[in-house]
A and B are shown apart, each in its own frame.
Chain A
């Protein structure tokens, strides 16, 4: 069965410091991996995805994520956090072997960036 774990309910970081939001996954086949962000009173927005190729994926708003197959992880990173990055972040996985769009989401990590 597919699953996604986001081990931290909340991450606190000072503005200008690097940030990491952790994600590990479990899927029987090879995964497609995604990060989405949810701002208050707004829908989920796509940040970035890993399909194949380079393990370091760059996305919107300066975010990037590193795919690590041996550790089954897909941590979200940003070199310098902004106060406006404060939001709820979701990691998600899709099993490419089954096709379709069934996507399993983690429980989310709330990011607080302090000025």
Chain B
């Protein structure tokens, strides 16, 4: 049983560019959340997708957007990249009910130059 997978593993972009990160949830999970983890900090909640809709959002600008597909996989898009967007981006999947724990992928390391 595959766990949460993310692609790519690493990514280098320049300021102003756009990036798309991808996530496949653990088998049986229908909810995907995205987090940003800066160096030395805890993960910061970006947003959550369930039934192909954004359900909750953290304190991130509209440059951060996402999508969930019918097979529950998800994409995170970041436009107009800033140096401060450099971080590890984590995808977490879970099943529906909010008291369930999340299963995290290994992350995508984004570097903005």
| A residues in contact (CB < 8 Å) with B | 4, 32, 34, 36, 41-46, 49, 51, 90, 92, 94, 96, 98-108
Contact A94 B104 (CB under 8 A): no
**B98 and A90 within 8 A (CB):** no
Quick one: CB contact mask for B85-113 with A, threshold 8 Å, 1 for yes? 00000101010001101111111000000
Asked if residues B98 and A94 are in contact (CB atoms below 8 Å), the reply is: yes
On chain B, the number of residues with a Cβ less than 8 Å from chain A's Cβ atoms is: 26
One of B33, B101, B104 near A43 (C-beta < 8 A): B104
Question: Known: A44-B90, A45-B104, A94-B98. Contact between A102 and B43, CB under 8 A?
Answer: no
Residues A103 and B102 in contact in the complex (CB < 8 Å), given A43-B4, A108-B41: yes
Contact A105 B98 (CB under 8 A): no
- Please determine whether B90 and A43 come into contact, CB atoms closer than 8 angstroms: yes
In the bound complex, what is the Cα–Cα distance between A10 and B70 (angstroms)?
43
Q: How far in angstroms is the closest Cβ of chain A from B89?
A: 11
Q: Which residues on the B side are within 8 Å of A43 (C-beta)?
A: 4, 90, 104-107
- The residues in B between 25 and 39 inclusive whose CB is less than 8 angstroms from any CB of A are 31, 33, 35
* Structural contact, A104 and B45, CB atoms closer than 8 A: yes
B63 to chain A, nearest CB (A): 19
Minimum CB distance partner of A35 in chain B: B101
What are 21 of the A-B contact pairs (CB < 8 Å)? A32-B99, A43-B4, A43-B90, A43-B104, A43-B107, A44-B90, A44-B92, A45-B104, A46-B101, A51-B99, A90-B42, A94-B98, A99-B98, A101-B55, A101-B56, A101-B98, A102-B48, A103-B43, A105-B35, A105-B43, A108-B41
CB contact between A103 and one of B4, B45, B105 (< 8 Å): that residue: B45
